[in-house]
Amino acid sequence: MKVNFVLFLFLLVFCDLQSQNNLTSPYSRFGLGNLSNVVHPEFSSLGGAAISMNGLLTINNYNPASYSFIKQQRFIMSVGVNSKYLSIANNNNVNNSFDAGLSNLNFAFSLNEKWAASFGILPYSQVSYSFSQSDSSYIDGQTIQEVNYLYSGSGGLSRFYLGSSFLLDKSLSFGVNVSYLFGQLNNNKKVDFLNDDFLNVKSQESLNIGGLYYDFGAQFNRKIDNYNVKLGVVLSNSNSVNATLNKLSERYYLDFDTEVIIDTTENSQLNKGVITMPNNIGFGLNIKSNNLSLFLDFSQKDWSQFSSFGLSDSLSSSEKISVGLEYIPDYREINTYSKIIRYRFGYQYNSTYLDFNNHNIIEQKLCFGVGLPFLKTGSFLNLSMEIGKRGTLDYNLIEEKFVNILVGFKFNDVWFLKRKYD
């Protein structure tokens, strides 16, 4: 019965992740689209600082070494819902969009006192854009013609991961995640001439990705005087993920609003190739004293190594800094509920992989949230809100302002306890 329930949730989240695509962002045109940041509200409210975090009932797939610290004989499930309001502006227009849906499904369990595992499904990136550009072009080097360039894209990537970690002693743990990246990214372009004497051109590219990549992690816990100190590190080498590419290019003219195809200039199907993923390294620090915890993260991904079928997208190395605070008035005072609530605050500075005319696109956000425990079960309801912006109106660029609201449920149950009967 429980296994069937798990399979049902996986199917539900998988279908929902594939259907979400209502947020329009021109920046998703590049690379693999808009990358999904931390989707767990427990970490999101700390600015995304998760590399050093672990706990008896914590599923932290951002550092696989954390699984070993899960409480024995426990099966933990985490499911999340998120909603995002996005406002996009340039010097001429403002566009608003909204999206909501299931965001993640994770499971974790301890196999013995030193070995634990986790698996789940998460969003990786999203592509959704539509914009146009007008220009003048020379035809045969002589006549100037007005041309409209229309760009649009859709699709997204998800990842299913299976991770495991091993505790070498009470303070040092190593772990690995094996992830299967899958999904489809569609990019379309139209070239429309205002002069009916010339044929219009449209091209469609469909990139289907399905392949494995790996990431590794380590965590170290130590008590120093009155402080509990945790260190974390994550890294991954440049992985090659399998993909297929379909291309279709056609010439056409408009009969009122109907496109009449004249001929096909390119039709290539199921071209096999690889996507080269970037190197990633990150460090995390957590210092806890009594009822206050400080979290610091720094991570870097070398997206200049990224390529798709041998072609780069002129991406830059990205760097991210996250700072978070968690305050618990008194976790032992269970008779006063407000004293056992987790109050969380965070900030994130992200130098993204996007760079236009030597101007890097920066994303910043303020985060806050709470963790509400269920006393009888040990489960949690986690709430988080992110308020931030990406880009700028300077240099004729685009500015995005967003508000994210994340809701997460974390349940735990005793699944591996052998019952004894007289």
For residue range 295-318, list pLDDT tens digits in order: 999 999 999 889 998 888 889 999
pLDDT at 140: 57
Q: What pTM was computed for the model?
A: 0.88
Q: How far apart are CA 43 and CA 25, in angstroms?
A: 24
Tokens of 186: 């569609």
Beta strands 143-167 and 115-126 are: antiparallel
Low-confidence residues of the chain, pLDDT below 50? 1, 4, 8, 10, 421-422
Task: Encode pLDDT of 190-233 as tens digits.
Answer: 988 877 778 889 999 999 999 999 999 999 999 998 899 999 99
Q: How far apart are CA 393 and CA 341, in angstroms?
A: 40
Cβ neighbours, 10 Å, residue 209: 24
Q: Which residue has the tokens 């195809």?
A: 261
Taking the domains of the chain in order of start, what are their residue ranges? 2-198+208-238+277-414
Q: How far apart are CA 202 and CA 139, in angstroms?
A: 18
- What percent of the chain has a predicted confidence (pLDDT) above 90? 56
Instruction: Work out the angle at residue 168's Cα, subtended by the Cα atoms of residues 166 and 57, and round it to the nearest 5 degrees.
Output: 50
Query: How many residues does this entry show for the chain?
Result: 422
Q: Does domain 2-198+208-238+277-414 have CATH number 3.50.50.60?
A: no
Q: How far apart are CA 73 and CA 230, in angstroms?
A: 24
Tokens of 335: 């008779």
pLDDT at 90: 85
Element (H, E) at 362: strand 359-373
- Looking at the DSSP assignment, which residues form a beta bridge with residue 277? none
Which of 169, 161, 177, 179 lies closest to 69 in space, CA to CA? 169
Cβ neighbours, 10 Å, residue 150: 15
Q: How far apart are CA 368 and CA 387, in angstroms?
A: 9
Task: Encode pLDDT of 362-395 as tens digits.
Answer: 999 999 999 999 887 778 999 999 999 999 998 8
Phi, psi at residue 106, to the nearest 5°?
Answer: -130, 145
pLDDT at 101: 81
